[in-house]
């Protein structure tokens, strides 16, 4: 796992936080989508609050050694989903309901797709519902879940 240190700017102070470098340039998922998902995760984890400025396309490009246009495409994806909003000449900021929108999107799209894949694989392996539920409970306990 590769880590780098990035500067995180907010209205009060400059602080340094550790960020996991998540870009997979060999995968099938476009880099701009990975940037958007990383920013969503940062919002979900509380590293960016509502109405707080997020990284610019140039900061993201420097952090991840990517083209600024690619970083801009990731930011604009979040603007299109109303997770971020633009202030002309100032940058992009986290929308008021961003966290809730991300949670809903991830529950209704990402998690649903993953559950669908798990159920299909469990059916191929002829697992019972109880076996699958027990496996989920074990993993949840290992991860410190509910």
> Is 138 exposed, middle or buried, given 0-12, 13-18 or 19+ CB atoms closer than 10 A?
exposed
Segment 86-96 mean pLDDT:
96
- pLDDT of 17 strictly over 80: no
Query: What pLDDT, on a 0 to 100 scale, did the predictor assign at position 146?
Result: 60
* Fold of domain 3-96: Arc Repressor Mutant, subunit A (1.10.10)
Q: What is the pLDDT of residue 28?
A: 87
pTM of the entire predicted model: 0.74
Provide the pLDDT confidence category of residue 20 given band limits of 50, 70 and 90. low
pLDDT tens column, 21-76: 567 777 889 999 999 999 999 999 999 999 999 999 999 999 999 999 999 999 99
More confident residue, 95 or 5: 95
């Amino acid at each position: 796992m590769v880590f780098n240190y990035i500067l995180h700017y907010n209205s009060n102070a400059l602080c340094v936080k550790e960020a996991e470098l998540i870009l997979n340039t060999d995968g099938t998922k476009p880099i701009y989508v990975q940037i958007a998902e990383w920013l969503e995760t940062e919002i979900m984890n509380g590293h960016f609050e509502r109405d707080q400025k997020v990284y610019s396309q140039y900061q993201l490009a420097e952090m991840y050694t990517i083209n600024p246009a690619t970083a801009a495409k990731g930011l604009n994806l979040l603007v299109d989903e109303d997770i971020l909003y633009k202030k002309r000449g100032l940058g992009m900021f986290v929308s008021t309901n961003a966290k809730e929108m991300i949670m809903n999107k991830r529950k209704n799209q990402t998690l649903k797709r993953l559950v669908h894949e798990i159920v299909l694989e469990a059916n191929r392996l002829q697992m019972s519902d109880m076996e699958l539920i027990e496996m989920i409970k074990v993993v949840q306990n290992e991860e410190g879940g509910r």
